[in-house]
Structure 1
């Protein structure tokens, strides 16, 4: 007979932080126990979420382990019960009870083979806003949101990861964020617009022009839903999206669910958390990984190499210190690696293709910065100077033309300047233009500052091709005006 997993209290699980030993057993106050086999999410000291076994069946277990966990546990329970009462699809609640010696447990049905809508959307995110394939993923979520609103409910943490696809059903999860504003009555227009905007703000801004399609899917849930003011809704979505971006960028340099950050007197590092284990050898000695890679550039200010770690192709960029004066000028400022790290996550958040930023390392002496390293995913695309060379005298092919329009419309709308917009810093890969070398990238607060920077960017890009060429003329016509 196998030895039972060790019994853990809420206090022991709090002390274990992000890495409690598995499997682990937790006991409900009524004497029943569950065994947690796989963690899906950890909020250290607050909550564990994972796959567990309870009374002979697989369940999704949420263990609320903070000393004052009753409020969150009860809110989650109430939200699930409100969804069930309104016949909104959600995983069945199987048990909700205190744990022995503190904490609380909430167990729902484990849906084998279920997929988050976020994962489905990731496969279609590059589709043009309003395309049939993209709408096939998004429309059911907005229709389900309409069903919530028709029942007087809102979900305050609306994102595609909180919708679950199981077979031919779409379900709402995360009862903790569900509230009843007008029980059994449809929300009014202001309430509905505020909640609708949270979900719509998860999408790239290009979808704002296709808002009527999303509203149509939402209204299809119930004729009693109120009419929405489209211009006002667009403004609300833009404000919500901006707030989301700032909140996200506030996380990229601190330890959290998404990023693992370590800081010592002599070193600072940040890494995408699910890459931390694979990149650990590189982070321990980035110069060794750089030296072992294929050298791409060896200049005074930076050294760049391509390497491979755990089967993943990467680019390591070391930002060098040229001399004592250069060291002094850089010591008190954020490193160029840190700037590029944040810029890469900014572009990715906005749906602008760029190699995934995976890790950042800085040499430090207390608050003073020295050398720094940035690790990005490798993009095998060809730069536009080479890729468009055969088309200089006839303009870009249709796919590249549309990608150029979309890229610069997005950059212009978001008031982003690149700062070194050479054609070699734009790669053509899998039907998209990928932006690289983000050392000087800026998102401007004012339209005037962006206009000045855009004039420089535009002129720099056009200088890549002869002024009389068809490609130069096409770009001059199609790019946003200076």
Structure 2
């Protein structure tokens, strides 16, 4: 690979998210690093990937931004603190400056390895208290307890920072590790706050399982347990902050989303879908061609909905039309219904509430003025509840549990739908999927939510004949109006 041209920090900053691979960088000590595959890119700041150093495979972090030296030093210090406390973490192999500016840090490349986030995703939304899920979370909680027992915190706790390699769990990302009480146990207040960051990554439905999770944490923290009510309140606050932060990211360029806009168009796409949807999203005309070539499910004055197939994958495209000049004028200054549905779809999924994944949003603009919009999402083929359930009998056990779990989650998060017809609730793979999110609202106050929920509840019950078995069953079990 010596024929590959050398690059440097300035060239890597200029390359943004897509530096050409493979590439070589010269280290200040005269060595060379060959980067083979990128695992994470923070444009202009940091590159993380699989690399070769002196013929051996390593995980390399290249700090190429203006504050690169500070983060490089923090990474070194954090990894040393973890190793000193006996907390498993990938071994530091080398840390050096790059020739021409920037810094590099190399650790063991663990292969095969799986993050806790990947393991959790394979469980596909485990029920609260599920034994397999509890067993999966326990080693990470024990590891965090050991961290706190050593007087350390990890400020960027998420499931992706716990890694399993050959039946050993490791904590990664030394940049976020801080030494709070060298050689002493962390006081309960900061320990509880740090633990809340990790537990807030779990779906809100798991909040009732915190007591069942604490023994695993205590096993590492020498039986030191935080106050349960205080911890629960901290979890709620952290999750609210994470949701707010995430919703902002859905509308700006970041690791998860690709966003571009001009005077005539705004476009946001889930980054991993950019390549697959490139042809459809090339222009407003290309989206409309896809709709015309698809199966039209609805063609009304305000919306046109089509099922389309892209590379063998069924998707749904919803176009928000402007039915008249008056309607167009009324929408000019407001975010489009497509924008609203994009945001609320991501909100529901963040909260663990089933809804088809929103994949892309396009808004037609004239400067700051909004016009038509298009929303691309996954297609849910399941039957709606009006068709799936019989009015003259109680729902089967699986459906009954899923229905009650859905409305408990919506109620717990103060979310109203706005048009709760049974046709907007689909049955798929043992869960109830919510669609048509144009009117979804997460209310700030309990009073506002109570008023909206009474309307939602009444609308849902009107789907079936008054006094029918199913209607009575729902009326007795849904949260009160």
TM bucket, shorter chain: over 0.9
CA contact (8 A) 1:269 1:362 kept: yes
Query: Structure 2 unaligned runs (5+)?
Result: none
Three-state SS of the structure 2 residue aligned to 1:61 is strand
Structure 1 gap segments, 5+ residues each: none
- By how many angstroms is 1:405 displaced? 1.3
Q: CA deviation at 1:457?
A: 0.3
CA distance in 1, matches of 2:67, 2:396: 61
> Contact 1:154–1:178 (CA<8 Å) still a contact in 2?
yes
Query: What's the secondary structure of 1:280's corresponding residue?
Result: coil
Report how far residue 214 of structure 1 moved. Answer: 1.2
Indicate if the aligned counterparts of 2:214 and 2:225 stay in contact, CA closer than 8 A. Answer: no
Superposed CA deviations along residues 93-112 of structure 1, whole A, max 9, x for unmatched, are 11111101110001111111
Mapping 1:145-224, distance limit 5 Å: 145-223=144-222
| Shift in Å, 1:124 | 2.1
Q: Are positions 1:252 and 2:250 aligned together?
A: yes
Q: Deviations over 1:420-459 (max 9, x none)?
A: 1111111111111111110000000000100000000000
2:139 match: secondary structure: helix
Q: Could you tell me the TM-score, scaled by structure 1's length? A: 0.98
Q: Which residue of structure 1 lines up, in the alignment, with residue 324 of structure 2?
A: 323
Looking at structure 2, the residues matched to 75 and 275 of structure 1 have their Cα atoms a distance apart, in angstroms, of 34
- SS of residue matched to 1:250: helix
**Secondary structure at 2:34's aligned position in 1?**
strand
State the partner residue of 1:240.
Answer: 238
Distance 2:161 2:124 in 1: 17
Question: 2:95 — aligned with what?
Answer: 96
Q: What is the deviation of 1:312?
A: 2.2
Q: Distance in 1 between matches of 2:381 and 2:8?
A: 49
Contact conserved, 2:403 with 2:432, CA < 8 A, in 1? yes
Structure 2 Cα separation of the partners of residues 185 and 422 of structure 1: 57
The alpha-carbon deviation at position 394 of structure 1 amounts to 2.1
Aligned match of 2:378: 377
Contact 1:261/1:270, CA 8 A, preserved across alignment = yes
RMSD, aligned α-carbons: 1.0
SS at match of 1:95: strand
> 1:277 is paired with a residue of what secondary structure?
coil
Separation in 2 of the partners of 1:362 and 1:244?
26
Matched, 1:282 2:280: yes
Q: Deviations over 1:100-152 (max 9, x none)?
A: 11100011111112111101111225221111021122111111111111111
What TM-score do the two structures reach when normalised by structure 2? Answer: 0.98
Residue 402 in 1 paired to residue 401 in 2?
yes
CA distance 1:200–1:125, change in 2 (3 Å) = farther
Counterparts of 1:315-394 in structure 2 under 5 Å? Answer: 315-389=316-390, 392-394=391-393
Q: Residues 203-228 of structure 1, C-alpha deviation per residue, up to 9 Å, x if partnerless? A: 111211111111111001242x4331
Mapped contact 1:67–1:102 kept (Cα < 8 A): no
Q: For 1:362-393, what per-residue CA distance to the aligned partner results, in whole angstroms no more than 9, with x for missing partners?
A: 1111111111100001112111111113xx22
Q: Which residue of 2 aligns with 1:303?
A: 304
Mapping of 1:103-182 within 5 angstroms? 103-182=102-181
Q: CA contact under 8 A between 1:5 and 1:35: conserved in structure 2?
A: no
Pairwise CA distance, 1:336: 0.3
Flag as ranges the 4+ runs of structure 1 deviating above 6 A.
none
Tell me the distance in 2 between the aligned counterparts of 1:363 and 1:8: 40
- CA deviation vs aligned residue, 1:60-114 (integer Å, no higher than 9, x gap): 1110001331100000111111111111111111111110111000111111121
2:269 maps to 271
- SS of 2:291 mapped into structure 1: helix
Match status 1:443 vs 2:442: yes
8 Å Cα contact 2:25-2:33 kept in structure 1: yes
Report the Cα offset of residue 3 of structure 1: 5.0
CA distance in 2 between partners of 1:139 and 1:454 (Å): 37
Q: Secondary structure at the match of 1:403?
A: helix
TM-fit CA distance, 1:256: 0.8
For the residue of structure 1 that corresponds to 2:289, the secondary structure is helix
In the alignment of these two chains, the number of paired residues is 478
- SS of the residue 1:355 aligns to: coil
1:4 is displaced (CA, Å) by 2.6
Alpha-carbon contact 1:307-1:315 (below 8 Å) kept: yes
Partner of 1:261: 259
SS at match of 1:157: coil
| Paired residues of 1:147 and 1:221 also in contact (CA < 8 A) | yes
The aligned counterpart of 2:418 is 419
CA distance in 1, matches of 2:188, 2:221: 14
SS in 2 for 1:165: strand
Distance in 2, matches of 1:405 and 1:317, equals 29
Q: Relative to structure 1, is the Cα distance of residues 253 and 222 closer, same or farther in structure 2, using a 3 angstrom cutoff?
A: closer
Deviation (angstroms), 1:6: 1.6
CA drift of 1:183 comes to 1.6
- Is residue 148–residue 221 contact of structure 2 (8 Å, CA) maintained in 1? no
SS in 1 for 2:276: helix
Q: Distance in 2 between matches of 1:177 and 1:127?
A: 29
Match of 2:43 in 1: 44
